[in-house]
Amino acid sequence: MAMYLWTIVMLSIAMILPDWWFYKKMKKHDFFRWFRWLSLVPVILFVLTFIYIRFGLRYSDNYLLTARISWVFVILSMIYTPKIIYILFYYINRVYNRIFTAQTRIFRMIGFGLGVFFVSVISYGLIVTRDNFYVKQQVVEVQNLPSGFEGFRIAVFADFHLGNWNEKYSIMEPIIKLINEEHADIIVFAGDMINNYESETKGWEPYFKQLKSKSGKMYAVLGNHDYGDYTNWDSKDAKIKNLEKTKQNIRELGFRLLLNENEDLVHNGDTISIIGVENYGSGHFEDYSDLEKALSGIRYERLKLLISHDPNHWNIEVADKIPNIFLTLSGHTHAGQIGFVRSGIKISPAALLYPQWDGLYTYKDQALYVNRGIGYVGIPLRIGVPPEITIIELRKKRDNL
């Protein structure tokens, strides 16, 4: 976890100004002096924490500390957002009274109510939605799908970020139950097993090994977080060793890790190819992918299933360019962790960066599925977009008569 200096400055201002405003109001109304000074303690503690994150935490390899620090931002938002909302409506109320020569307090009451509503929604996202894992069934129709793959089922999940769960291994129990009950033919993990450190997988092995597919096969790729790019290393060699151990650990969880590689999938006498690329670096992320290498050795006409962590990869290198990649499975976006998805309406901050950020997208005879992920990054909550396990069922596309 890292913070830019300008972020520290902006957050500090966003806290100091409302705290000073409330301090002056309390002084005007003769609140106890000790209480007024006590109200300024949180901002001091937050600023000191930000400074530590900027200059200390980024050099720490204690992933548990990093996970716990994320709760600082939860507390910050729950304290200061309601304050800012109330102050905004206080001045709206004041302007209204001056314009209409009224003495109402209705807007101040609205501001207070919205602050309470904000805290309630955040609390719900922390306590209920964050761990509310569910299974989404998704049929994908495939042109010229071999008959042996009719009804082939793929369990997909992504973005676990194990280090964020503070060694809460029991969180795997509902995930194991949900996946195993579906009796999928294969299981796919679409990247971001960890945040930075290979040690994050410690203790999770017995749980992942309880996952079952009909074929006994589980496939995985690396996501942007799996490379350890979000921390400072003592040396280049230390980072390389961490990455190699991460790869080994994911294999020990039971996955066939596809690193710009492919493998034949044989089912009921028919064959397609499953391809996995390392993280495609859209935006400011490092690009480790090599799709050409991953495709090597596969007959051109064979249908191909691609696992690529970043959904932007589909737009840039796959859709309308390699038509025999009939389906791409991705994660990465977390669906923004906050969103609204109902009746065809899809709203999320993730849409600002990713044209495809949640669910199924198609172009001609090709499809992309973006899984919402299991875990979280940053603030440990989900609102409106609960963590998802997807069951993809392949069906042969029927020509319309």
pLDDT tens digits along 322-369 = 999 999 999 999 999 999 999 889 999 999 999 999 999 999 999 999
Question: In the prediction, which pLDDT does 65 show?
Answer: 84
Handedness of CA 175, 180, 182, 187 (dihedral sign): positive
pLDDT value of position 272: 98
pLDDT in tens, the chain (401 residues): 555 688 888 989 999 999 999 999 999 888 888 899 999 999 998 988 888 887 877 677 788 887 888 888 899 999 999 999 999 999 999 999 999 999 999 999 999 999 999 999 999 999 999 999 999 999 999 999 999 999 999 999 999 999 999 999 999 999 999 999 999 999 999 999 999 999 999 999 999 999 999 999 999 999 999 999 988 898 999 999 999 999 999 999 999 999 999 999 999 999 999 999 999 988 777 899 999 999 999 999 999 999 999 999 999 999 999 999 999 999 999 999 999 999 889 999 999 999 999 999 999 999 999 999 999 998 899 999 999 999 999 999 987 55
Q: List the beta bridge partners of residue 368.
A: 328, 361
Rounded-to-integer distance, Cα 332 and Cα 372, Å: 8
Question: How high is the pLDDT of residue 276?
Answer: 98
State in Å, rounded, how far the first CA of the chain is from the last one: 56
Q: Which residues pair with 27 in a beta bridge?
A: none
For residues 218 and 224, what is the distance between their CA atoms, to the nearest angstrom? 20
The b/e string for 215-250 (b: 16+ C-beta within 10 A; e otherwise) is eebbbbbbbbbbbbbebebeeeeebeebbeebbebb
pLDDT of residue 176: 98
Check residue 137 and give its pLDDT: 98
pLDDT of res. 3: 59
Q: What is the model's pLDDT at position 381?
A: 93
Cα dihedral 202/203/208/209 (nearest 10): 110
Q: Which residues contact 40 (CB under 8 A, 6 or more apart)?
A: 19, 23
pLDDT reported for residue 69: 83
pLDDT value at residue 400: 59
| Contact of 321 with 338, CB cutoff 8 Å | no
Is the CB of residue 369 less than 8 Å from the CB of residue 327?
Answer: yes
- Per-residue pLDDT, 2: 56
pLDDT for 55: 81
- Which pair of structure tokens corresponds to residue 153? 């089922």
> Can you list the domains of the chain with their CATH numbers?
5-127 (no CATH), 133-396 (3.60.21.10)
In 10 A of CB 344, how many CB atoms? 5
